[in-house]
Structure 1
């Protein structure tokens, strides 16, 4: 697990940085990480490597924005998200790793499409605050987060549809992913067996990269035009996802 080439170590460090950046307001950048880790570790194994990194990074968002969470929206989403997690848990047991990587790639493409669509519709009241919308977004997001840790754009669409102010948006999303990721942790250990002492040791070694990414993300948000940066993220992510299909 720890015997990587120099290039792989560089990629892992950058992946940790991107996760840290994504938790401080750099949207979409963590999408790059999912296909890169799947290429290095394999589809299913990569989810166990990535989850503790996400959990460590979640605390950056919760630590700063915890007071702004809107818990009424969390209670609407969480039960349905757990249903999606359960479905994904079963799917992960019945497909081989090649199909697992293909599913991850497909989810990445879907989420990239949702990100682009969200940007075009961000000022529109395009969905009502109804139970079926929360249920569909919750199940789809729960499935996506368990299979590939790529549920960010799905839940972002739901929260944007509720017209939450920026701080409430970030705080609600931060708490949601902290809770849902913590619930996935024992499932990865006991059922999928994708988390063990070696993967946890690797994740802890990448903690400085997460912290550096968080600080770098704050600086980048101020310096780089949002459209330019998001275009770069989307292009690199799509190319990485295509590599999973080769």
Structure 2
């Protein structure tokens, strides 16, 4: 039999479901067909990327910025990333190496705070141009790293600090910390699963850390944006299932070059938008 506490819990869940359904029916989001398409595609790509396929998350930022504008899109993306992060930390938790998170996270948090300060009072045009520069810079850095013959990377604390601060700034302004954090983790010579598991927890923590700044400082997360996030969750779930299948099938070299090209093109479109 279900005890009284269990009944209360089920009752609260039922009320929460009814309330959420009611709010979803009341709040109609006036989006164009193209905005819906780009948003759902971005949610799908988030799911795919969180399943373990790296290098494609950079495309999400470009698509969402094209659909909703540079600054507004940053707040739309963060809750979606957290949904994907939850799956990633559950799936890859056993591979997490906490000593590297402890080493990198404080620097990254400092970078986030710097990013909050930099981006707070930027107008949309300046923010858009800054985001495009960050995206292009990330593409160039990733391309340079792929072409680099020697993968020897410094392991001094200053290296971790500089990579962490840059990762924090870019994740706040453009949700684009991957180019810098990946180099740090590669320098630590983590095996594939440990790389994914450690990165999953790092980004889950940092995305939670970013939430209050998006809500209370930048005001890029609102009730309307949250409702949109709820409607996009099925896209993330579909991406997760597809990503798990693709992770062993896709040829990394081809898709990575394709993503870099499409992202660079998208950043130019953001500048011209």
1:181 aligns with 2:199: no
Structure 2: give runs of 5+ residues left out of the alignment. Answer: 1-27
Which residue number in structure 2 is paired with residue 191 of structure 1? 217
Which residue number in structure 2 is paired with residue 172 of structure 1? 198
Distance 2:264 2:151 in 1: 26
Which residue number in structure 1 is paired with residue 188 of structure 2? 162
TM-score, normalisation: structure 1 = 0.95
Distance 2:85 2:227 in 1: 18
Q: Which residue among 89, 92, 95 is the counterpart of 2:122? A: 95
Shift, 1:121, TM fit: 4.1
Q: Alpha carbons of 1:98 and 1:221: their partners in 2 closer, same or farther (altered >3 Å)?
A: same
Distance 1:219 1:40 in 2: 28
Which residue number in structure 1 is paired with residue 161 of structure 2? 135
Q: Which residue among 2, 9, 12 is the counterpart of 2:39? A: 12
Which residue number in structure 1 is paired with residue 93 of structure 2? 66
Which residue number in structure 2 is paired with residue 2 of structure 1? 29
Q: Which residue among 49, 64, 82 is the counterpart of 1:55? A: 82
The answer as to whether partners of 1:17 and 1:212 remain within 8 angstroms in 2 is: yes
Aligned residue pairs: how many?
A: 245
Distance 1:72 1:122 in 2: 28
The answer as to whether partners of 1:31 and 1:108 remain within 8 angstroms in 2 is: yes
Distance 2:183 2:148 in 1: 10
Distance 2:87 2:185 in 1: 20
Q: Larger radius of gyration, structure 1 or 2?
A: 2
Which residue number in structure 2 is paired with residue 34 of structure 1? 61
The answer as to whether partners of 2:75 and 2:214 remain within 8 angstroms in 1 is: yes
4+ residue segments displaced more than 6 Å: none
The alignment partner of 2:152 has SS state of coil
Which residue number in structure 2 is paired with residue 106 of structure 1? 133
Shift, 1:68, TM fit: 1.3
1:206 aligns with 2:232: yes
Q: Alpha carbons of 1:148 and 1:47: their partners in 2 closer, same or farther (altered >3 Å)?
A: same
The answer as to whether partners of 1:122 and 1:160 remain within 8 angstroms in 2 is: no
The alignment partner of 1:202 has SS state of helix
The alignment partner of 1:222 has SS state of coil
TM-score, normalisation: structure 2 = 0.86
Distance 1:243 1:29 in 2: 18
Deviation readout 1:66-103 (Å, 9 max, x if unpaired): 12111111111111111111111111123211111111
Distance 1:65 1:123 in 2: 29
